[in-house]
Structure 1
Amino acid sequence: MVRVEIDFPSEVAPVKASGVISKLGQVTVCSIRSNALTVERTATLARDEMEPSILLGLQLAGSSLVVQGGREAVIRPRDLVIYDSTAPYTLVDSEGIRQHFFRIPHDALGLPRDAIRRVCALTLSPEHPVADVAATYLNRLGSRPDLFTHSSRDAVSQPTVELVRALVATHLDSPALGRDSLQATLCLRILEYARAHLGDPDLNAAQIAAEHHISLRHMYNVLAANEISLGAWIRKHRLEGCRDELARHAGSSITIAAIAHRWGFTNLSSFGRSFRACFGLSPRDWRNQALRGVDIPGGEYEPEPPAYG
Structure 2
Amino acid sequence: MAIIYQATEVPVHEREAVLRSAFDGQSWPTTVDLGNADSADHYMHAWEFGQTSIFQADLTDLRLGRSPKQIRVGPSEMLTIARQQNSVGKHDQFDDRRTVDTGQLMIVDMNEPYQFSYDGRGASQAFYLPLEQMNLPRTVVKEAAARLPASPLYSLFSSHINELTNIGDAIAGTDAASAVGESSIDLARTLIASAYDPDYARNMMAEVLLPRIRGYIRQHLCDPNLSADTIAHAHNISTRKLFRLCEDADFSLEQWIITNRLQGTHDELARPETRALSIAVIARRWGFGNPSYFARRFRTMYGLSPRAWRDLAATQAPPHV
TM over 0.5: yes
CA drift at 1:131: 0.4
Q: Give the aligned partner of residue 83 of structure 2.
A: 58
Please state if 1:186 is matched with 2:209. yes
Please say which of residues 41-50 and 26-35 is displaced more in the overlay.
41-50
What is the alpha-carbon distance in structure 2 between the residues aligned to residue 181 and residue 109 of structure 1? Answer: 12
CA drift at 1:206: 6.7
Q: Give the aligned partner of residue 218 of structure 1.
A: 251
Which structure would you say has the larger RCO, counting Cα contacts within 8 Å and 6 or more residues apart? 1
On the 8 A contact 1:15/1:35 being kept in 2, the answer is no
SS at match of 2:125: strand
- Amino acid in the other structure paired with 1:8: L
Please state if 1:202 is matched with 2:225. yes
CA drift at 1:230: 8.7
Please state if 1:148 is matched with 2:172. yes
Q: Give the aligned partner of residue 182 of structure 2.
A: 158
1:34-49 aligned at under 5 Å gives the runs: 34-49=59-74
On the 8 A contact 1:54/1:83 being kept in 2, the answer is yes
| Aligned with 2:158 (options 126, 130, 135) | 135
What is the alpha-carbon distance in structure 1 between the residues aligned to residue 214 and residue 147 of structure 2? Answer: 25
So what's the TM-score if we normalise by structure 1? 0.61
On the 8 A contact 1:58/1:99 being kept in 2, the answer is yes
CA drift at 1:165: 0.9
Q: 1:201 to 1:135 in 2, by over 3 A?
A: farther
Q: Give the structure with the higher percent helix.
A: 2
Q: Give the aligned partner of residue 27 of structure 2.
A: 2
Report Cα offsets for 1:172-208 as digits up to 9, x if no partner. 11523x23321221146537988xx9xx983425753
What is the alpha-carbon distance in structure 1 between the residues aligned to residue 49 and residue 194 of structure 2? Answer: 24
Gaps of 5+ in 1: 232-269, 274-309
Q: Give the aligned partner of residue 81 of structure 1.
A: 106
SS at match of 1:94: strand
Aligned-pair identity (%): 19
So what's the TM-score if we normalise by structure 2? 0.59
Q: 1:115 to 1:217 in 2, by over 3 A?
A: closer
On the 8 A contact 1:20/1:32 being kept in 2, the answer is yes
What is the alpha-carbon distance in structure 1 between the residues aligned to residue 261 and residue 51 of structure 2? Answer: 29
What is the alpha-carbon distance in structure 1 between the residues aligned to residue 208 and residue 84 of structure 2? Answer: 23
- Amino acid in the other structure paired with 1:26: Q
**Which structure would you say has the larger Rg?**
2
CA drift at 1:102: 0.7
Please state if 1:105 is matched with 2:130. yes
Aligned length: 225
Gaps of 5+ in 2: 1-25, 233-238, 263-281, 286-321
Q: 1:152 to 1:219 in 2, by over 3 A?
A: farther
On the 8 A contact 2:84/2:102 being kept in 1, the answer is yes
